[in-house]
C-alpha cells in the first residue's frame, strides 16, 4: 500500500532539458585555450571526454579507430563471438603505433589466397614473409596483388625481396627520414641477428602528425575498450580481450546494481588484477558505492535515458539522468573514481551539463550511429538517408544474439521476451569526425561561458538554474521557419 504522504517524500529528478548553466564573467580569451582532458577510469586519461557506446550499431573497429584518433575511446560491443571481438580489438591496436611489435606474417610456402584472407581479416595492406627461424625474407603488399588472380601461387613467387630494414631502437624521426629518402611505406625492424622484431609504417607517422591528441597506450597504439556480460564464459572473454590489448574491460548489463555484476567484478579482478574495469549501468548512489567497493575503476551511469531505450516505460524504473549523475558522483568522488554519463546526450550542451554535474566523460550512441564509421549500411528514404540503430535490449538484438550463441531460435523464448529497447532509423550524419568536432566545439564554448579552462574548473565553477517549459521553448530557435 502506498503511503498517503508519498508526495511529501518524493524528490524531484532532473534531466538535461530541465536546467541551464548560468553564464559567468569569463577570463577565457579563446575557447581554443580550454583543456578537455579527463579520466576515463582510475588509470586511463583521455584527451576529449567522449566514448562511443558498446552497441552493435555504433562501435566496431572502424568507429573505435576514428574516435581514438580524435582523443576519445570506443568500446567494442560484445554481441559477437570471442574470436570476432578479439579481431576487432587487434584491428584497432594494429592500426597505429610507435612500432607494431607483432606484425602479421606468413611463411614463404603460403599462397596468394592465404595472403588475401589475412589482409581482409586484419584490415591491413601488407604482410611480412619470414622463415621458421623468424628471419625476414620479404613482404607482400596489396600493390603486389593488383593483377595476381592465381590464389594458388606461392608467396615466394610474389613477394618483394631485398627489403630496406632498420635496427632495434630506431626512432620515429629516423624512420621518417628513411621513408622519405627511399620512397617506401613499410620499414621492418630487425635485431642484430636479422630476426624480425617489429614494423614501422609511414602511415603511423603520418597519423601521429595529423592526430596529435589521439588516445594512445604506452606503445603508441590507439586505445580501445571491450564490453563483456556477466556469464561465466565472460571471464574467459575478458582474459583473452586483455591479452589482445584491450585497455579496459566494460562489464555492461542493463541493471548493473546486481549480485551478478558484483560477483563478475571479483572474478575479473582475481584473474587479471591489473585490468581497468568499467562497470554499469546504475542510477543511484547506493549502486555506485557497491560497484566501487567491489573493485570498479569507473562507473557507468544511466538507466533508461538512451534514445532507443524504453526501460522506464516497460519497467517503471529509472532516475532522470542529471539527478542520477549528481547522486552517483556524490559517492564516486569520495573514492576518486570517475563517472561516465551514459545516455540522454542529444547536444553539445548536454555534454557540458553532464560534466558540470560531475561526470568525467560521456558515452554517446545514437548520435554516432548515423555516421560512416558505424556498422551497417545507409538506407535511402524519400525524405533523406538513414542508418539503423537499436537498443541492445531490443527484440531484434535479442534474436541476433540468440542466433550467434546457439545457431538457433527458441520461438517460445522469443515470444516471451520483453524488450526494453527499440529499433529505429537515425539520420545519416556523414563522418564521425564532423559530429565529434561539433560536439567538442560546443563543449569548449560551454566551458568558456562557465569561466572554466578545464573540466575540473567547470565542475567547481558551474551554477545550475532550473527552467520552466517556457524557458525550454525559448532556449531553441523559435518563431521562425528554419531553412538550414
H/E run at residue 300:
strand 298-301
Rounded Cα distance between 23 and 237, Å, is 47
Q: Residue 284: is its pLDDT beyond 60?
A: yes
Query: pLDDT digits over 308-321, tens only?
Result: 888 899 999 999 99
Query: pLDDT digits over 441-452, tens only?
Result: 999 999 999 999
pLDDT of residue 1: 43
Q: Residue 10: is its pLDDT beyond 90?
A: no
Query: pLDDT digits over 75-102, tens only?
Result: 999 999 999 999 999 999 988 877 888 8
Q: Residue 356: is its pLDDT beyond 80?
A: yes
* Residue 50 near residue 362, CB atoms below 8 Å: yes
CATH of 105-201, one of 3.40.720.10, 3.40.50.300, 3.10.580.10, 1.10.10.10: 3.10.580.10
pLDDT of residue 446: 98
Closest CA relative to residue 246, chosen from 38, 39, 36, 41: 41
Using pLDDT thresholds of 50, 70 and 90, give the confidence band for residue 115: very high
Q: Residue 394: is its pLDDT beyond 90?
A: no
DSSP state, residue 32? G
- Residue count (the chain): 484
Residue 187, CB half-sphere, CA atoms under 13 Å: how many?
Answer: 28
For residue 179 the three cell numbers come to 621513408
DSSP state, residue 49? S
Among 58, 241, 309, 397, the active-site one is: 309
pLDDT of residue 102: 82
How does the average pLDDT of the chain come out, rounded?
91
For residue 435 the three cell numbers come to 559530429
Rounded Cα distance between 348 and 439, Å, is 5
Query: pLDDT digits over 135-193, tens only?
Result: 899 999 888 888 888 999 999 899 989 889 999 989 888 999 999 999 888 999 999 88
Rounded Cα distance between 18 and 322, Å, is 9
Query: pLDDT digits over 60-71, tens only?
Result: 999 999 999 999
pLDDT of residue 397: 61
Active site residue 328: no
pLDDT of residue 4: 54
3-class secondary structure, 247: coil
Sheet of strand 126-130, all strands in order from the earlier edge strand to the far edge:
105-106, 126-130, 136-141
Note whether 11-95+215-475 and 105-201 share their fold. Answer: no
pLDDT of residue 67: 99
How many other CB atoms are there within 10 angstroms of residue 161's CB atom? 10
Q: Which CATH superfamily is domain 11-95+215-475 in?
A: Aldolase class I (3.20.20.70)
pLDDT more than 90, % of the chain: 68
DSSP readout, 116-156? HHHHHHHT-SEEEEE-TT-BEEEEEEGGGGTT---TTSBHH
Residue 316, CB half-sphere, CA atoms under 13 Å: how many?
Answer: 0
* Residue 369 near residue 55, CB atoms below 8 Å: yes
3-class secondary structure, 415: helix
pLDDT of residue 241: 98
Using pLDDT thresholds of 50, 70 and 90, give the confidence band for residue 273: confident
**pTM of the entire predicted model:** 0.86
Mean pLDDT of 426-453: 97
Q: Residue 120: is its pLDDT beyond 50?
A: yes
3-class secondary structure, 324: helix
Q: Residue 484: is its pLDDT beyond 90?
A: no
According to DSSP H, which parts of 16-169 are helical?
61-69, 82-93, 112-122, 155-158
By CB atoms closer than 10 A (0-12, 13-18, 19+), residue 341 is: buried
Closest CA relative to residue 55, chosen from 440, 424, 450: 424
Question: What ranges do the domains of the chain cover?
Answer: 11-95+215-475, 105-201
Give CA angle at 220 (218, 222), nearest 5°.
105
Using pLDDT thresholds of 50, 70 and 90, give the confidence band for residue 398: low
Query: pLDDT digits over 375-391, tens only?
Result: 988 989 999 999 988 86
Mean pLDDT of 24-48: 96
Using pLDDT thresholds of 50, 70 and 90, give the confidence band for residue 476: confident
By CB atoms closer than 10 A (0-12, 13-18, 19+), residue 30 is: exposed
Query: What Cα–Cα distance (Å) separates residue 341 from each residue in 40, 365, 367?
Result: 11, 12, 15
Among 170-174, 356-360, 395-399, name the most confident range: 356-360
Amino acid at each position: 500500500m502506498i503511503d498517503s504522504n508519498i508526495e511529501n517524500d518524493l524528490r524531484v529528478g532532473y534531466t538535461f532539458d530541465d536546467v541551464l548553466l548560468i553564464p559567468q564573467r569569463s577570463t577565457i580569451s579563446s575557447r581554443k585555450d580550454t583543456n578537455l582532458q579527463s579520466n576515463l577510469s582510475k588509470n586511463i586519461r583521455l584527451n576529449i571526454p567522449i566514448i562511443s557506446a558498446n552497441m552493435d550499431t555504433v562501435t566496431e573497429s572502424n568507429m573505435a579507430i576514428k574516435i581514438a584518433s580524435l582523443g576519445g575511446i570506443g568500446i567494442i560491443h560484445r554481441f559477437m563471438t570471442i574470436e570476432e571481438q578479439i579481431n576487432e580489438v587487434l584491428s584497432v591496436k594494429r592500426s597505429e603505433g610507435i612500432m607494431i611489435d607483432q606484425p602479421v606474417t606468413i611463411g614463404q610456402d603460403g599462397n596468394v589466397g592465404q595472403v588475401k584472407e589475412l589482409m581482409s581479416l586484419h584490415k591491413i595492406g601488407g604482410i611480412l614473409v619470414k622463415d621458421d627461424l623468424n628471419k625476414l625474407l620479404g613482404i607482400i603488399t596489396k600493390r603486389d596483388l593488383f593483377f595476381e588472380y592465381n590464389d594458388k601461387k606461392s608467396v615466394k613467387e610474389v613477394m618483394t625481396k631485398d627489403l630496406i630494414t632498420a635496427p632495434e631502437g630506431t626512432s620515429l624521426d629516423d624512420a621518417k627520414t628513411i621513408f622519405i629518402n627511399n620512397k617506401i611505406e613499410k620499414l621492418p625492424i630487425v635485431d642484430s641477428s636479422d630476426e624480425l622484431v617489429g614494423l614501422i609504417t609511414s602511415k603511423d607517422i603520418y597519423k601521429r602528425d595529423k592526430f596529435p591528441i589521439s588516445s594512445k597506450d604506452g606503445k603508441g597504439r590507439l586505445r580501445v575498450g571491450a564490453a563483456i556480460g556477466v556469464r561465466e564464459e565472460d571471464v574467459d572473454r575478458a582474459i583473452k580481450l586483455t591479452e589482445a590489448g584491450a585497455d579496459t574491460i566494460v562489464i555492461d548489463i542493463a541493471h548493473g546494481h546486481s549480485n551478478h555484476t558484483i560477483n563478475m567484478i571479483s572474478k575479473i579482478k582475481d584473474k587479471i588484477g591489473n585490468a581497468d574495469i568499467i562497470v554499469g549501468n546504475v542510477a543511484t548512489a547506493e549502486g555506485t558505492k557497491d560497484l566501487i567497493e567491489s573493485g570498479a575503476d569507473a562507473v557507468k551511469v544511466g538507466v533508461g535515458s538512451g534514445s532507443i531505450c524504453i526501460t522506464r516505460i516497460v519497467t517503471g524504473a529509472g532516475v532522470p539522468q542529471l539527478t542520477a549523475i549528481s547522486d552517483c558522483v556524490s559517492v564516486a568522488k569520495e573514492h576518486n573514481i570517475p563517472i561516465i554519463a551514459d545516455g540522454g546526450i542529444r547536444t553539445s550542451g548536454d555534454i557540458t551539463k553532464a560534466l558540470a554535474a560531475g561526470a568525467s566523460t560521456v558515452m554517446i550512441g545514437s548520435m554516432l550511429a548515423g555516421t560512416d564509421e558505424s556498422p551497417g549500411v545507409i538506407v535511402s528514404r524519400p525524405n533523406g538517408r538513414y542508418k539503423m540503430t537499436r537498443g541492445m535490449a531490443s527484440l531484434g538484438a535479442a534474436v541476433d544474439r540468440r542466433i550467434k550463441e546457439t545457431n538457433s531460435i527458441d520461438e517460445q523464448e522469443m515470444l516471451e521476451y520483453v524488450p526494453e529497447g527499440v529499433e529505429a532509423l537515425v539520420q545519416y550524419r556523414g563522418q564521425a569526425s564532423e559530429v565529434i568536432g561539433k560536439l567538442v566545439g560546443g563543449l569548449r564554448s560551454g566551458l568558456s561561458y562557465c569561466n572554466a579552462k578545464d573540466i575540473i574548473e567547470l565542475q567547481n565553477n558551474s551554477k545550475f538554474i532550473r527552467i520552466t517549459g517556457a524557458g525550454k521553448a525559448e532556449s531553441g530557435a523559435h518563431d521562425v521557419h528554419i531553412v538550414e
